[in-house]
Amino acid sequence: MNANLIPIARRRLLGAAVLGASLPAWAQGALPGKPIHLVVPYPAGGTTDLQARAIAQKLQELSGATVLVENRAGAGGNIGVDWVLKAARDGTTIGITAMNSFAINPLLTKRLPYDVTRDVQPITLVGSVPNIVVVNPDVPVRDLKGLADMARAGDVTYATPGAGTSVHLAAEMMTDAMKVKMRHVPYRGDAPALQDVMGGRVPVMLANLPGVIEFVRAGKLRALAVTSARRSPLLPDVPTMGESGVPGFDVKAFFALFTARGVPGDVVSALNRELARAINHVQVRQQFSKLGIDTASSSVEALTALIYLESRKWAPIVAKTGATWD
């Protein structure tokens, strides 16, 4: 799977040079008359869903097109992603997902209903969020060094929203870099994990920043470090992993827009341009900033390359942990 990403990335880079010189009217700003279905492969109310609805609203305002957001959750995002990839290849069905759908899930199972290199057409990056290490306020540690000392002294458990998620794998990278062992307790999503951490049943949790920031602000969780190279402007007093004794640590969750491979190149180009306009609009950037999302649209080629690089980054961690869905 991963090796095949290299030739496909090269083919797309070459293909970019020969995208149609004469684009249809909608590629120049007018989207097609049919409604655009933006599929979110996770439940309503989550980080991905909030991004989708902000982008859809702004895309409608800027283009006049009808954009319908649909939540098709299940199987770690695989159901919604597969729905997009089996839709008509005319550009009217697109999806937004966390990068794990393309860079991690294929490493976890041989029974994925889609093949990334064969079926997925990247459109644009949307942005990224850091993960954050938090503890129950009653846990007697206030920094990452204290957590490492506690882990060396005894059995420490940590919660994540699921085995094989990017958050779980980031935690494994963290413990490996810190040269400590902590026992993983996987949950079915953030909500039950948060409930047990705030209830004192599990002392530590790794999560995407937007999902826990309000609990940190309310004092229901204590933040120890963010996993990005820079501090989050939303929690400026929380140090980075690098500042906490783990140099070079920089792990973020990326979000991307995509459609089915086979959508005409001029349509993909138009989608990239129009969606980038929506993503980069000042109002959307402000909305995302409040959620802790670092907004960043991209070219099709840059997103294709990022999928490959993320897959290479996570492959050894998946192998080390033995994480699997099979």
- What domain range is 138 assigned to? 130-244
Rounded Cα–Cα distance for residues 129 and 187 (Å): 20
- Adjacent-strand bridge partners of 120: 260
Rounded Cα–Cα distance for residues 15 and 37 (Å): 26
Indicate whether 268 and 305 sit together in one domain: yes
Indicate whether 80 and 145 sit together in one domain: no
The answer to whether residue 142 sits within a structural domain is yes
Rounded Cα–Cα distance for residues 287 and 22 (Å): 35
Amino acid, single-letter form, for residue 158: Y
Contact 226, 207 (CB under 8 A): no
The answer to whether residue 239 sits within a structural domain is yes
Domain boundary residue, one of 215, 244, 273: 244
Indicate whether 22 and 87 sit together in one domain: yes
Rounded Cα–Cα distance for residues 157 and 142 (Å): 17
Whichever domain contains 149, its CATH number is 3.40.190.10
pLDDT in tens, the chain (326 residues): 444 444 444 444 434 433 333 344 444 444 567 899 999 998 888 889 999 999 999 999 998 889 999 999 888 889 999 999 999 999 999 999 999 999 999 999 999 999 999 999 999 999 999 999 999 999 999 999 999 999 999 999 999 988 888 999 999 999 999 999 999 999 888 889 999 999 999 999 999 998 899 999 999 999 999 999 999 999 999 999 999 999 999 999 999 999 999 999 989 999 999 999 999 999 999 999 988 899 999 999 999 999 999 999 999 999 988 888 88
- Smallest CA-to-CA distance from 60 within 258, 277, 264 is with 277
| Confidence (pTM) | 0.84
The answer to whether residue 307 sits within a structural domain is yes
Domain boundary residue, one of 216, 244, 272: 244
Indicate whether 20 and 8 sit together in one domain: yes
Buried b (16+ CB within 10 A) or exposed e, 194-203: bebbbeeebb
Amino acid 74: pLDDT: 85
Indicate whether 98 and 50 sit together in one domain: yes
Amino acid 303: pLDDT: 98
The answer to whether residue 52 sits within a structural domain is yes
The answer to whether residue 326 sits within a structural domain is no
Q: How far is CA 57 from the centre of its chain?
A: 21
Rounded Cα–Cα distance for residues 11 and 194 (Å): 43
Those residues whose C-beta lies under 8 Å from the C-beta of residue 158, and which sit 6 or more positions away, are 171, 182, 183, 184, 185, 202, 203, 204, 205, 206
Number of domains in the chain: 2
Domain boundary residue, one of 244, 261, 294: 244
